[in-house]
Amino acid sequence: MYRVHYRGSMACFLSFNNVSFSYPSSIKPVLENINAQFPLGWTGISGDNGAGKTTLLLLAAGLETPSAGSIRGDGGIYCPQRTDYPPGSWEDFFYSGDPDADRLMNRLRINAGFMGRWDTASHGERKRVQLGIALWKNPPLLAVDEPTNHLDRDGRDLIAANLEEYRGIGLLVSHDRALLDRLCGNCLFIHGGSAVMRPGGISQGMAEEEREALAGRRRRQTLVYERGRLAAEADSRRRLAESAKNRLSKKQVDPNDRDAKGKINLAKLSGKDASGTRLYKNMQNRVNRIDRTLEKTQATGEQKKGLTLRGAKARADFLWHSPAGEISLGEGRSLRFPELIILPQSRIALTGPNGAGKSTLIRRILAELPPHLDTLYLPQEIPVEEGLLQEIQKQDEKTRGEIIARFSRLGSAPASLLQSALPSPGEARKLMIACGVLTNPSLIIMDEPTNHLDLTSIRLLEEMLIKEVEAALFLVSHDDLFLSRLTNQEWSINAEGILRIQ
């Protein structure tokens, strides 16, 4: 079995000490007072899109500097989510003649032909090159952001096996639960700028998180019940105190009734008139303490989540049709297919290995759709556009509010989005979905829709497409469970470039 050969001393651990970080445009810190120690081996980083996962990786790799606090570690390499540009040192990797580089290229199925076709390589192929170079450099710390995006089943297995061999400090952000469970001995959960480390893989950590959330909700319910009981008791004490005060008043006593006045004076001297007031104040103080505790306790599970996208079934015999044919993929490769048709009620999964031509077929379909057909298209990668938020800001107030509300219901906080100059890849994807639900599409085409999305958002998107959508679905995904729940027909492309309908 191939093993990593270390070229220098490796760090024993990475530690964050009261680390906070804010971007110049931030209203509040992205991360606040983070304290965590990361041992050798892989630690998963979990949190909603925009929670600060990527920021934490950049800080760990030494590519960002904390606004406050300190980080102890030797820095390392950050592997980004996106694969727009070739990674640095890629020519050194391909032409080094280093046995380690050769072994990695062999294990990751990277061939020298990638050098001349980066622009035409699939995102999955690019991802394998990106990670191969990072592993070849063998840094003391490797921070990997969504390594299985774009990858088919074989590609995911290749990546997992090679990451498993790494013996430094690994930080892993991924929506791939199987990968996190396979690699990680600990997981750091980020919520609202703070973080909690839990032992085990993501499944164990999420189960523990849910138990803690349930216990927190029960504590809150107990406090609410106790507050109601004490408030009622305090109100009763207040009324008794006021009644006692009225009874001890001499205003209604006959000036010549010395016995009555004497009893009132004796009661005041013995403090009986103040006992009811003291009891009331004690009760009210306990109510106030509970109120302060409730203010500090965040109620979980109260935010409304999930989207509605009814869409409309098109009144047509079919939405798209193509006779049997062939599409050139370049370099002598092609995609051959039988007669293809998308019906108004279709729910189609397009599957196949990386580079088989799935995205090429989608581009062909989009180009040939009738112009009057309302279509929601979510591409595999959303171009890096600083103007995405600005375009939303140009919408009228009602439309803008609806987009932000739907963005929130996909599990992300609008505040973190609005204070950033550029949305994260996951946030950009949610924004496109949020904009799309305002339309009334008859056809929804999504190319790897779960890429960059956090686990909560994937579940919400799944529920929306299952329960709410009447439009035709055409989905490309390497997430087998996602496709099995949403589609009933498969267009499968094999390694030879032949599409078959199943």
Would you kindly state where each structural domain of the chain is located, as residue ranges? 13-200, 211-296, 320-501
Dihedral (CA of 230, 231, 236, 237) sign:
positive
Element (H, E) at 9: none
Whether 368 contacts 318, CB under 8 Å: no
Model confidence at 19, pLDDT cuts 50, 70, 90, reads: very high
Quick one: residue 312, left, alpha or beta (phi over 0 = left, psi -120 to 50 = alpha)?
Answer: beta
- Three-class DSSP category at 197: strand
Per the model's pLDDT, the better-predicted residue between 366 and 3 turns out to be 366
411-430 mean pLDDT:
71
pLDDT in tens, 282-327: 777 887 887 777 776 654 444 445 555 555 566 678 899 999 999 9
Q: Considering the entire predicted model, what is its pTM?
A: 0.63
Chain centroid to CA 118: how far?
29
Beta strands in 259-385 (DSSP E): 320-322, 325-330, 333-337, 340-342, 347-351, 375-378
Whether 465 contacts 311, CB under 8 Å: no
At residue 122, what is the residue type?
Answer: S
Instruction: Indicate the DSSP class of residue 300.
Output: S
Of 100-104, 213-217, 272-276, 365-369, give the lowest mean pLDDT range. Answer: 272-276
385-391 mean pLDDT:
66
Per the model's pLDDT, the better-predicted residue between 219 and 61 turns out to be 61
Q: From CA 180, how far away is CA 198, in angstroms rounded?
A: 13
400-416 mean pLDDT:
75
Q: Residue 130 contacts by C-beta under 8 Å, 6 or more apart in sequence?
A: 79, 80, 83, 87
- Three-class DSSP category at 185: strand
- Whether the per-residue pLDDT at 438 is higher than 80: the answer is no
Model confidence at 48, pLDDT cuts 50, 70, 90, reads: confident
Q: Tell me the sheet residues that pair with 34.
A: 19
Q: What's the mean pLDDT when you consider all of the chain?
A: 80
Instruction: Indicate the DSSP class of residue 96.
Output: S
Whether 13-200 and 320-501 share one fold: the answer is: yes
Model confidence at 449, pLDDT cuts 50, 70, 90, reads: confident
Q: Tell me the sheet residues that pair with 274.
A: none
At residue 443, what is the residue type?
Answer: L
Per the model's pLDDT, the better-predicted residue between 8 and 327 turns out to be 327
Q: From CA 416, how far away is CA 118, in angstroms rounded?
A: 34
Per the model's pLDDT, the better-predicted residue between 340 and 272 turns out to be 340
Dihedral (CA of 292, 298, 302, 304) sign:
positive
Per the model's pLDDT, the better-predicted residue between 237 and 62 turns out to be 62
355-362 mean pLDDT:
89
pLDDT, position 133: 92
pLDDT, position 208: 86
Dihedral angle computed from the Cα positions of residues 55, 61, 64 and 67, in that order, rounded to the nearest 10 degrees: 80
Task: For the domain made up of 320-501, give the CATH fold.
Answer: Rossmann fold (3.40.50)
Most trustworthy range by pLDDT among 11-25, 159-173, 307-321, 428-442? 159-173
pLDDT, position 381: 74
Portion of the chain with pLDDT greater than 70, in percent: 81
- Whether the per-residue pLDDT at 2 is higher than 50: the answer is no
pLDDT, position 487: 94
Rg, the chain, Cα only: 31
Whether 51 contacts 444, CB under 8 Å: no
- Side-chain-side CA neighbours of 224 within 13 Å: the count stands at 9
Per the model's pLDDT, the better-predicted residue between 384 and 60 turns out to be 60
Of 145-149, 182-186, 225-229, give the lowest mean pLDDT range. Answer: 225-229
pLDDT in tens, 159-189: 899 999 999 999 999 988 889 999 999 999 9
pLDDT, position 444: 92
Element (H, E) at 4: none
Residue 127's CB is within 10 A of a number of other CB atoms, namely 25
- Whether the per-residue pLDDT at 21 is higher than 70: the answer is yes
Residue 85's CB is within 10 A of a number of other CB atoms, namely 11
The position carrying tokens 């204070």 is 419
Q: From CA 276, how far away is CA 269, in angstroms rounded?
A: 15
In angstroms, the Cα distances linking 431 to 103, 310, 453 are 41, 18, 12
Architecture in CATH for domain 13-200: 3-Layer(aba) Sandwich (3.40)
Q: From CA 129, how far away is CA 132, in angstroms rounded?
A: 5
Model confidence at 417, pLDDT cuts 50, 70, 90, reads: low
Most trustworthy range by pLDDT among 116-125, 182-191, 214-223, 422-431? 182-191
**Token pair belonging to 362:** 């989608």
